[in-house]
């Protein structure tokens, strides 16, 4: 089984908690026998989606922009578990993670289907995955975690996730707290 970690943390202080989560997740996945691929998105050459839909109409399944996002998308398609890690900003993702997720639309088809009364795009590939997300917060914020959980769940529906679990960790968390958060995610997602 393959696990993919998309670390949207930056190289500055806000990214330190994300790095701790990434390191803990790598160790936890490997201890469960999963093959792990991890990307530190902030240091990669991933340009923003242009919204040109070339990935749907000109060359289906392939983005017109040739950069590091191509490898990220291939890894998403090949994985059974994907973990998104990001500082939570106004309840949302870091720009690095947002760009990578936006650029993953080639895994969808340009058609529409109805799922539980909602309109969605069908998946291009049969393989489905579990999507986990770990956010970090600098200071307690009553609404940001709720917004983050909701955003992740909505995005996971669009990606036809088999299971979706989220957590939010303090940016001041030590290695043990990061590891506990990751173990909690894996337990909730039934990844043993």
Higher pLDDT, 10 or 76: 76
Give 176: exposed, middle or buried? Use CB within 10 Å, 0-12, 13-18, 19+.
exposed
Q: pLDDT value at position 12?
A: 75
Identify the sign of the CA torsion 140, 11, 105, 127. Answer: negative
DSSP codes, 34-76: -EEEEEEGGGS--PPP----HHHHTSTTS-SS-STHHHHHHHH
What's the CATH fold of domain 2-45+66-100+126-188? Rossmann fold (3.40.50)
Residues pairing with 25 in the sheet: none
CA–CA gap between residue 47 and residue 51 (Å, rounded): 12
Question: What's the whole-number mean pLDDT along residues 122-135?
Answer: 96
Q: Is 177 helix (H, G, I), strand (E, B) or coil?
A: helix
Could you tell me which of 183, 184, 188 has the C-alpha nearest to residue 29?
Answer: 183
Question: What's the whole-number mean pLDDT along residues 133-155?
Answer: 93
Q: What is the pLDDT confidence band of residue 50, given thresholds at 50, 70 and 90?
A: very high
Q: pLDDT value at position 140?
A: 78
Task: Please report where in the chains the tokens 């990214």 appear, as a residue.
Answer: 15
Residues whose CB is less than 8 angstroms from the CB of residue 95 and which lie 6 or more positions away in sequence, other chains included: none
pLDDT at 192 over 90: no
52 C-beta neighbours (distance < 10 Å), count: 12
């Amino acid at each position: 089984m393959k696990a993919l970690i998309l670390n949207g943390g930056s190289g500055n202080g806000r990214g330190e908690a994300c790095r701790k989560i990434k390191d803990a997740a790598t160790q936890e996945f490997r201890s469960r026998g999963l093959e792990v691929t991890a990307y530190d998105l902030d240091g990669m050459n991933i340009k923003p989606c242009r919204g040109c839909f070339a990935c749907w109409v000109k060359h289906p399944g392939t983005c017109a922009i040739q950069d590091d996002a191509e490898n990220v998308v291939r890894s998403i398609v090949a994985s059974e578990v994907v973990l998104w890690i990001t500082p939570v900003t106004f309840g949302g993702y870091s720009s690095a993670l947002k760009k990578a997720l936006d650029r993953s639309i080639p895994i969808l088809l340009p058609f529409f289907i109805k799922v539980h009364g909602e309109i969605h795009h069908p998946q291009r590939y049969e393989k489905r995955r579990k999507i986990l997300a770990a956010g970090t917060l600098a200071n307690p914020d009553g609404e940001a975690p709720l917004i983050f959980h909701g955003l992740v769940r909505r995005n996971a529906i669009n990606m036809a996730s088999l299971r979706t679990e989220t957590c939010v960790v303090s940016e001041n968390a030590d290695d043990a707290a990061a590891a506990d958060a990751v173990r909690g995610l894996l337990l909730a997602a039934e990844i043993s």
